[in-house]
Amino acid sequence: MSKKNRQRRVVKAQGTAGKPASPELEAAVTEIFSSLHDAIAAGDLLQAEIATARYVTLPVRIGLEEAQADKFVTTSLVDGAETPDSAARLRLLMLLGSPGVKRAASQALARLTARGVYPPEWVSEAGKAGPAGAWRRYDAFGDGESIIVTYRYGEREHAVVWQITLMSVPVVVAIGVATDAAGLLEEVERGDDEFDRHERISLAEARQHVEPALARADFTPGREPDTAALICLPIARTRLRRLPAAGPAPVTREYTEADRAAAVEDFMKSTEAPDVVAADAETARFWARVLTGYSSRTPGTPPAQAGPSSIALALVQYAARTFALTEAQRRDMEPVVSAWARWSAAYRGLGEAAADRITVEIPKALAMFDDLYARPGAVTRRAYLAGLPGLATGETDASTLADAASRRWFAMPPPGARRGEQADGLDAADPGHRREYLTAEFASCTPPDGMSQEQWISAVSRVIEELWAGHPAGTWQRAQDLTARGADRHDVIHALVS
């Protein structure tokens, strides 16, 4: 089949979505396929991978469902493959396609080889780029980092970059593939911001930074990361697997409740805090506890750590959804948080310019605070946390609160699809409402042998209350273990009663 006819076939494949292709989409498909054809003709492994990745991710990027996306790719690149170049495309699809596409490509390639048609020898090296070196670029505040790993195909070197946000838990938010590795490394070492830092790390350390952060990433189109990341993702996954998994785990200090309490006291006695402490020491201490407690969300994060982005997130995503604030706590939020940010910068030796960089973001975050605080989702989450020890004074840290929220949401799902419309008005914080909800959910279930219906509901109620209270701790641990094995919530509660 000629290149021109193949392009027509590719463009025609847009009908798999049940819609005619737009001129823009037809142009994109033709351009991508032309790039793939040229890369295969030139024997350029990296460019062939990039073009293949662009093509296999295109249907997802234009909004097709998984089954439609697989049909899109297999119709255009798998069906009818008859030449060594077509076999090369199949080999690349086996490397970079979805599971469904990989299966179809493997079957098609087996049919070709059975007829004596093989891909060019060079394509067997696809995905086997040798890792050469790794670097970490990060900001002095601790808000984010980029992991850069260089790879070689022969003497030619390229790089993969994983951008990771550290504002909450580490998550990959962007991915890039750079064909000019040397130029990228020059840029990394030069830096374009006074608060940028960089260091050489081992290949095993690079994998330790990236792998868990990539697992947490949400690559749904329309959300972060962007289109470039979606395109680079198939290649990045193959490159990550090339890194050594062995090696010691990163050494991180375990910060305790005592460490966070000490940081609060240091702030209260600091030169940055006298005015806010004199105005209302109780409120100043509350916000210092909230901000130091936020550090517990990620193991190894120092209690004094704050950056322009993370302090904003601590206010609008954490504080607004966690604490039922008093009038004084809301009134003094800006001066106390600004004082704490300046103390944080001084405590870490970052200087006045760093303090200015952090504090300039605080008014921007607080301009959104009232709206976010009043949203139904925030009101619901605060209600689920109500009554927890140390919450009102800010003494309970973010990690403990996150676990409590998950545990209580498991005991009685929040309003919405999981709970059901008729039960949306029930207050999960009310024990009577919790019993009403579980009675409706479990009344039609068959009790275990020897247990009456009344005993059954009482037993379910006991499990729900243990989950809500977190005592004994083994009930929640058992629920998490069962969930990790694939059991749904209803079945887990059955198992806990038994």
Q: Is the pLDDT of residue 63 over 80?
A: no
What are the backbone dihedrals phi and psi of residue 169, each rounded to the nearest 5 degrees, phi first? -90, 155
Identify any residues that bridge with 156 across adjacent strands, giving them in sequence order: 153
End-to-end CA distance of the chain: 64
CA distance 375 to 44: 53
Model pLDDT, residue 414? 86
Sheet holding 196-201, edge to edge: 171-178, 156-165, 144-153, 130-139, 196-201
Long-range CB pairs of 285-289 (<8 Å, 24+ gap) are 285/393, 285/394, 286/329, 286/393, 286/394, 287/329, 287/332, 287/333, 287/336, 287/337, 287/340, 287/394, 288/263, 288/264, 288/336, 288/340, 288/394, 289/260, 289/264, 289/393, 289/394, 289/395
Query: Phi, psi (5° rounding) for residue 140?
Result: -65, -20
Q: pLDDT band at residue 106, thresholds of 50, 70 and 90?
A: very high
How many residues are present in the chain? 498
| Stronger pLDDT, 114 or 27, i.e. the higher one | 114
The percent of residues in the chain predicted with pLDDT above 90, rounded, is 71
**pLDDT computed for residue 394 by the predictor:** 95
Q: Is the pLDDT of residue 225 over 60?
A: no
State the pairing for strand pair 130-139/156-165. Answer: unpaired
Q: Look at residue 61 in the predicted model and tell me its pLDDT.
A: 80
Mean pLDDT of 154-181: 93
Model confidence, pTM = 0.81
| Mean pLDDT value across residues 251-273 | 92
229 pLDDT above the threshold of 90: no
pLDDT at 11: 42
473 to 278, 410, 467, 479: CA distances (angstroms): 41, 14, 8, 10
Please give the distance of CA 295 from its chain centroid, rounded to a whole number. 18
Mind listing the pLDDT tens digit for each residue in 2-35? 444 444 444 444 444 445 456 777 787 888 889 9
Mean pLDDT confidence for 274-283: 94
Per-residue pLDDT tens over the stretch 397-456 = 999 999 999 999 999 988 876 666 667 788 888 999 999 999 988 988 988 888 899 999
Reading the block at residue 56, the tokens are 């296999």
Q: How many CB atoms lie within 10 A of CB 187?
A: 14
Residue with tokens 């000019």: 180
Closest CA relative to residue 133, chosen from 251, 47, 252, 239? 239
From 318, 316, 276, 273, select the one nearest 295 (Cα to Cα).
318
